[in-house]
Structure 1
Amino acid sequence: MSCTLPNAPGVGFKSQHFADLADPGPVAWLEIHAENYMSDGGPRMAMLDDIARRFPLSIHGVGLSIGGQDPLDRDHLDRVRRLVDRVNPQSFSEHLAWSTHEGAYLNDLLPLPYTETTLRQVVRHVDQVQQALGRRMLLENPSSYLAFEESTYAETEFLAEVSRRTGCGMLLDINNVFVSATNLQVSAEAYLDTYPLEAVGEIHLGGHAEQQDAQGAPLLIDNHGTPVADPVWGLYERTISRAGPRPTLIEWDNDVPPFATLQADAARSGTILSQARAA
């Protein structure tokens, strides 16, 4: 099964905004985190059932540990499958990262060395997820704070090869691109020039925190708790002008503002998408 979100702005659903969705304005779709909705009943699931009837949905997983060395947690994958079966979302995505080791869950999404061994592991896990869910998934590029000397693929080459071998799509997080490029002192534009844009099924725009490392160099932290930075908006506009309109999420998970703030960012994204359609 292959579902598609509208080429329009969406926001991450937060329960405090439930009443605001009576007048969503420019918000055309919603995203939820899978791990927040793995129960069988209760008020949270009732809200989910309601919004699933009214809006296209994207489900974003954070716990499958696609890049981990351990086998996928079958119980966790079964819970994801039950959730997907319940609401039939237009999109399901996960991260190119690992977050488990020997049965322990870590409170982070950790980077991978881009090698042939890692590639085979990621391909195997993506295949397992797509088979279990009966649908194509999207894979998100990570925020990076270091690079592995043993890597033999550039990140964009690695992602393109995963897509080629599995048929999965890409979730392009442009804030993550900017964070990684700043931290690793490389060009975000050059990264996007080699990214497999033809495979992109969803784009994320979020905020980051600015710090300094021990040497005084800029260090950006992907925190999903601040406004989208102007350089990220610039990269987004550049990407849309090349790739055409894509479903775009305003991602804000911490220190969540009033819904009107998310609507304003959705409207800004919508303007960029409309300009790309006109062009």
Structure 2
Amino acid sequence: MIPPPQRSLYGLGLRRPHHADFLAGDVPVDFVEVISENFMVDGGRPAAVLAGVRQHHDVILHGVSMSLGTATGLDTAYLARLRQLADTVQPLWVSDHLAWTGIDGVNSHDLLPIPYSEEALAVVARNIDQAQAALGRPILVENPSTYLEFHSSTLAEWEFLTALVQRTGCGLLLDVNNIHVSAHNHGRDPLDWLDGLPWHAVRQLHLAGPSQGQDGLLIDTHDTPVPGRVWALYEEVRRRTGPVAVMIERDDDIPPLADLLAELDRARLGEAEAARP
């Protein structure tokens, strides 16, 4: 398993409107997280940007297409390209989602849900083992936002994640907003996740804002500021974690960099509040 950082780290996602700021090297963050697939290319502007940013900041590779829930095994060509990128960048770690993203070579470009069953657990654990062997390093797995549940599920999400950690030695990227979204959508208490998760395996936290969808659903859009309920849940999370990497995740309607840095300062304050008796 990936060892925890010696102190908590605070970072942002590397997004195009802020490339110049990060290349200048004066952004007060400990790391940047990049979408792996955007940089799995040979040369060109993306590679040059990442190489320049890497001179100033540690990097985390966060994927959206590994498809850990696929029943037919992972794409070996994809894993080879990701291994090449990771060997070049030497990231703090590599992460992806507890989801599947396509079938028969067609990428849906969406994070599709899986049933939380023993059969699915065996499939995902096998895929994580394949990924970690191909990459030559352990990975982090992120909990998803979900909008439906399967009748075939026999495990709670936190039980499924705990079993994956035990079987594969992977770590967890805990998306606090995703817990908020899933708990709201399924009428559950978000503290159920917090009481059931294997905290020794959590290495990173995501903070983001959802949008209101139809029929009362919350949608994980990453296009709004972090809302109050997610901040409150974050403080509960920090009472249970040791040092972790914390990131503000924004993928659309991207605000000025100063706004994101202000949210990151609030995340730092949340750690201090959680440490109070």
Bin of the TM-score, shorter chain as denominator length: over 0.9
Q: Aligned letter for 2:118?
A: E
TM-score, length of structure 1 as denominator length: 0.94
* Match of residue 129 from structure 1: 131
CA offsets 1:113-159 (integer angstroms, 9 cap, x no match): 11111111101100011111111100000101011111111110110
1:92 corresponds, among 88, 91, 94, to: 94
Q: Aligned letter for 1:23?
A: D
Q: Which sits farther off after the overlay, 261-270 or 14-23?
A: 14-23
TM-score, length of structure 2 as denominator length: 0.94
CA offsets 1:144-188 (integer angstroms, 9 cap, x no match): 101111111111011000000000000100100000001001111
Equivalences, count: 274
Q: SS of 1:233's equivalent?
A: helix
> CA offset at residue 43 of structure 1?
1.8
Q: SS of 2:116's equivalent?
A: coil
Q: Which sits farther off after the overlay, 203-212 or 154-163?
A: 203-212
* Match of residue 9 from structure 2: 8
> CA offset at residue 275 of structure 1?
4.2
Q: Which sits farther off after the overlay, 181-190 or 5-14?
A: 5-14
Q: Check the 8 A contact 1:245/1:273 in 2, yes or no.
A: no
Are 2:26 and 1:23 equivalent residues in the alignment? yes
Q: Percent identity?
A: 44
Measured on the aligned residues, the alpha-carbon RMSD in Å equals 1.6
Q: Check the 8 A contact 2:68/2:124 in 1, yes or no.
A: yes
Gaps of 5+ in 2: none
* Match of residue 239 from structure 2: 241
Are 2:41 and 1:43 equivalent residues in the alignment? no
Q: Aligned letter for 2:223?
A: G
Rounded Cα–Cα distance in structure 1 between residues aligned with 2:169 and 2:73: 21
* Match of residue 258 from structure 1: 256
* Match of residue 151 from structure 1: 153
Rounded Cα–Cα distance in structure 2 between residues aligned with 1:47 and 1:129: 26
Gaps of 5+ in 1: none
Q: SS of 1:225's equivalent?
A: strand
> CA offset at residue 77 of structure 1?
0.9
CA offsets 1:217-248 (integer angstroms, 9 cap, x no match): x2100001111111000000111012234211
> CA offset at residue 4 of structure 1?
5.3
Rounded Cα–Cα distance in structure 2 between residues aligned with 1:278 and 1:36: 40
Q: Which sits farther off after the overlay, 121-130 or 265-274?
A: 265-274
